[in-house]
Each structure stands twice: as C-alpha cells, then as structure tokens.
Amino acid sequence: MERSNHTATDFILLGFTTDPVVQLVLFVVFLCVYSVTVAGNTTLMVLICNDSRLHTPMYFFIGNLSFLDLWYSSVYTPKILVTCTSKDKSISFAGCVAQFFFSGGLGYSECYLLAVMAYDRYMAISKPLIYSQAMPIWLCAFLVATSYLGGFINCSIITKRLFNMTFCNDNVIDDFFCDLLPLVKLACGRKDDYQALMYFLLASNVITPAMLILASYLFIITTILKIRSTQGRLKAFSTCSSHLLSVTLYYGSILYIYSRPRSSYSSDTDKIVSTFYTVLFPMLNPMIYSLRNKDVKEALNKLLK
C-alpha cells in the first residue's frame, strides 16, 4: 500500500493481545495506573504551587516534570483503554502522526529536563550558600522553556522525515501506539532514512542529555568526596538520589529500545519495555520524589488539614 493510500486509510494497532478476557484485565490495570498517574502528578503540582516552602528551583523542576508526565501518559493511555474495550483497533493516519509527534515531543523534553535537573543538583551541592542566587527563577524558567523547545523541534524533524517515507505491505502496527520501530517495519524501499532517524534521535535527544547528566554527576561525586563528615556526605547524596533513580529507569528503558541493532528487534519484549517508560514511569515519578521527601510530606499534611 502506497503512502498516498495510507493518508486515507487507518492504521490498525494490534495492542497486546486479542484475547477478550486478557484485554479486560489489561483495561482494569491500565485504568488503575492512569488514575494513580493523574492523581499523583496533579497532587504534586498542587503541593508545589500551594506551599511556599516548596518554591525553590528543585521543586520548580519537579513540578514541571510532573506536568510532562501527566500529559505524556495522557497521549497513550486513553487510546490503550479504547483498544482494550472496543473491536475497532484503528487509528487514523492523522491521529498516528499526532500521537507520534506529541509523545515524542514530551518524551524528548523530559530527556532535556532531567539533564537540567542534574545541573540543578550540582549547583545545590557544590554551591549551597549561594544556591538561590545561582539559580534565579528566570534562569529556571529559561531552562525549562529550552527543554520544551528542544524536544518539540527535534520531534518535528523526526516526524516529518518518518512520515515522508513510503509505506507498503499492510497497515497493521504491531504495537499499542504509533512508535518509530513498528512504523519503520511498514516502510518499504531504501532504509537509509531509518538509520539517519535513529542516529539523529539517539544523538540529539538521548546521548547528549545523558552526557550532560554524567558530567554533572561526576562533579557532584567529586564535591561529595571533599566533604569530611560521613553524615554530610549521606545528606548531600540523598538530595540527588531520587533524581538518579529517575534517570536510571527512564534512560535505561529508552536506550534498550532504540540503541539495539534491527536484527535483535522483538515486538513482544519491546511492548513490555515501552509500557514501562510510557505508562508506568509517569506513575512512579511522583512516588520517587515524594515518598522519601520530608518537605513534600509536610506540605501534604498541611494541605489535608
């Protein structure tokens, strides 16, 4: 089927299974996960806006991370819930393009935002006395805006190149959303554009932010080693442990999906890994940044009272 026909034809999302009983179970699971995601991220944003003690650069970035996670999950989960309960598994060509664009833009923005948060942790640990002066609100807003801008500009380039490729064979996407690898499998003709897309995606949206995060943590470790007391070292490390866990989970799953050779592509395995960073990770982030955070717990108790 040529691309010109695809523009007037729906794609078919296979999802996870065709078993109606399993689909019902998955519907309940995804509905619960999505409800917790919306409640957790919304609550964290409200707490950060409501409590003056949380009006610091670190919580400003955490609030924006919650905002990204809320919308990132909303790009995928409603469509997953529909496909689990409906016999109609189709998604229009325009809908597929829109889902790919917004999911990519939000996901790449999160990569950049995590790098910005690593720099923020470096400033907080290395320059604690002048931290508020070194990270003024205008600089924080500029860094967040740059993260969004970089993510969506890169995704615009990738989306344009991907959907300019010629699609052939059938229109069945062996996944639960419009992702790069399943769509490339439907493409015919030269695969040079695929390699260019992968190199561009990895270099600009994953490798570069990851290198910035690595550099920030090298400086953080150097600073922590200079602290004489063990208690001081543990306190300094605890301020960035949540971010480090978040980075490990998010980047680990993305690198697993996109850094492997095409010969090792497995749709079933990739569906499970993709579910982690598209659906589960946005639910885990509020827990990671709040369960061990004394300030957030106090702000929640204050709000409830």
Flag residues of the chain having pLDDT under 70: 1-9, 169-170, 189-195, 197-198, 259-268, 292
In this prediction, residue 42 carries a pLDDT of 93
In this prediction, residue 200 carries a pLDDT of 73
The predicted-structure confidence for 253-270, as pLDDT tens digits, reads as follows 887 777 666 555 666 677
In this prediction, residue 110 carries a pLDDT of 92
In this prediction, residue 260 carries a pLDDT of 66
In this prediction, residue 143 carries a pLDDT of 95
Which range marks the domain in which residue 22 is found? Answer: 3-304
In this prediction, residue 6 carries a pLDDT of 44
Q: pTM for this one?
A: 0.88
Domain tally, the chain: 1
Spell out the SS3 assignment of the chain: CCHHHHCCCCEEECCCCCCHHHHHHHHHHHHHHHHHHHHHHHHHHHHHHHCHHHCCHHHHHHHHHHHHHHHHHHHHHHHHHHHHHCCCCEECHHHHHHHHHHHHHHHHHHHHHHHHHHHHHHHHHHCCCCHHHHCCHHHHHHHHHHHHHHHHHHHHHHHHHHHCCCECCCCEECCCCCCHHHHHHHECCCCHHHHHHHHHHHHHHHHHHHHHHHHHHHHHHHHHHCCCCHHHHHHHHHHHHHHHHHHHHHHHHHHHHHCCCHHHCCHHHHHHHHHHHHHHHHHHHHHHHHCCCHHHHHHHHHHHC
CATH number at residue 29: 1.20.1070.10
In this prediction, residue 262 carries a pLDDT of 58
